[in-house]
Amino acid sequence: MRILFVGANRIGDAVIMSGVLDHLIRTYPDCRITIACGPVAAEVFARMPNRERTIVFPKRRFDLHWLGLWRQVALTRWDLVVDMRGSGLAWFVWARRRAVHSPRPMRMFEQYAAALGIRPAPLPVAWTAPEDRAKAAALLPAGRPAVVLGPTAASAYKIWPADRFAALFRALAAGPLPGAVPVVLAGPGETERAGAAPLLALLPEAVDLCGKLSLPEAAAVIGRCALYVGNDSGLMHMAAACGVPTIGLCGATLDRADEMAPAGLRAAWARGRDDTMAGLSVEDALAACVRLLDRTAAETTPLPAA
**CATH 3.40.50.300 for domain 2-114:** no
Choose between 120 and 301: higher pLDDT: 120
User: Strand pairing partners for 148?
Assistant: 183, 228
SS3 of residue 280 by DSSP: coil
| Residue 81 DSSP code | E
Q: What is the mean pLDDT of residues 121-142?
A: 97
Superfamily grouping for domain 130-300: Glycogen Phosphorylase B; (3.40.50.2000)
pLDDT, residue 72, reads: 97
Instruction: Establish whether domains 2-114 and 130-300 are of one fold.
Output: yes
Helix (H) / strand (E) element for 182: namely strand 181-184
Choose between 299 and 152: higher pLDDT: 152
Q: What is the mean pLDDT of residues 43-64?
A: 95
Domain ranges of the chain: 2-114, 130-300
| Residue 117 DSSP code | T
72 HSE (CA, 13 A, CB side): 16
Percent of the chain topping pLDDT 70: 98
For residue 301, pLDDT over 70 is answered with no
For residue 66, pLDDT over 80 is answered with yes
pTM above 0.75, yes or no: yes
Choose between 275 and 306: higher pLDDT: 275
For residue 306, pLDDT over 60 is answered with no
Alpha-carbon Rg for the chain, nearest whole angstrom, is 20
Burial 161-183 (b: 16+ CB within 10 A, else e): ebebbbbbbebbbeebbeebbbb
- Between CA 226 and CA 208 the distance in angstroms is 17
Of 186-195, 202-211, 244-253, minimum mean pLDDT range: 244-253
For residue 304, pLDDT over 70 is answered with no
